[in-house]
Amino acid sequence: MSSDSVDFIDGSDRRLADAEAGRLNELIESVDSQFVAFLERDAVPPREVLVDQADSLASDSSAIACLATGGRIGPLWSSTSPRVAVLIAPPEQVGCLLLRGGALTASALPEVGHPLWDRLIRQVASGAKVLVEPSDRVPAFTGRGPSLAPGEPPASDDWLRAHLLETAPGDLVDPAGSHADAVALKAGLLQVHDFLEESHVCCQSVQHEGIHNAPDYWHAIMHRREPDYGNSKYWWHHTGEHPLFPELAAGARTILVNCDSEDASAWSERLTADGRWDPFGFVDLCALVNGSNDMALVEAAEQIQHLELSLLLGATYADATG
């Protein structure tokens, strides 16, 4: 396939997440290539990499390609089903998305909070395949992840709330090895997008169930972010030890070692002593930094939470699929 078979839409004038449907539709109409690559302007891979991906789509008219980066989000796209992957994070946080130009021009992107992401979710729900190829040629997403205490999501996210609520647990994992964990997976997807109350309802419906108590783990996180720190600790008692704790402890230690806060070393010792993760201590850290001026420690806590959410999504998916 020739190099002119792929055109770029790279968010040059604004981030893709902030691009309005009208502007994106204008850009899509202006290209005449067989494939269109969507990516942020600071994450442009070499054109030959995209051409190789376009070649992989040539024989399957229903396929979508994604060059997934490292970091925490890309591997989740590689290890989960397409229905789950596209609900975890918007495409610009994953890497570079390659779509067929004809499929894009067939109907205009809708006026919703994130038109491109909405289109991707709808295409996958309609049966489109997603070909995910890990790539070190696309820079990894470096954002801070979900807030420690997010508050109510804006009305501009109502479209995403609707997608998540309309997706049944059985749509995420089919067949489900563990129904309770499939429900917990839906709770987790709602949680990472700050729909706390909806996540809470899912958790409560299968509380004390699941192979590794994932519903109770998500329940504890929900109350920590609410924030209702005492209630969060109550649910940590129900959760108990989780298999992801050692990896979380190791990651948290690395984050805190690289944190400039004068309190980082003490928190590292408290949270990860002897390589064991202390979820109760992390609740205390989140309570401490809520409203704190120690921005280095706030950012470290957010990074730890981002790691925790990513690990738990992967673990819950693994339990749900049996």
- Min mean pLDDT across 9-18, 134-143, 302-311 is at 9-18
For residue 121, give Cα distances in angstroms to 29, 129, 130, 141, 188.
21, 11, 11, 20, 17
Please determine, for residue 3, whether its predicted confidence score (pLDDT) is greater than 60: no
Partners of 133 in beta bridges: 67
pLDDT at 8: 65
Sequential DSSP letters for 146-180:
S-SS--SPPGGGHHHHHHHHHS-HHHHSSS-S-HH
pLDDT at 48: 77
- Cβ neighbours, 10 Å, residue 281: 16
Please determine, for residue 1, whether its predicted confidence score (pLDDT) is greater than 50: no
Closest C-alpha to 80, from 116, 132, 37: 132
Mean pLDDT, residues 252-276 taken together: 98
pLDDT category at 62 given cuts 50, 70, 90 is confident
Rounded to two decimals, the pTM is 0.92
Give the residue with greater pLDDT, 302 vs 138: 302
pLDDT category at 72 given cuts 50, 70, 90 is confident
- Cβ neighbours, 10 Å, residue 47: 13
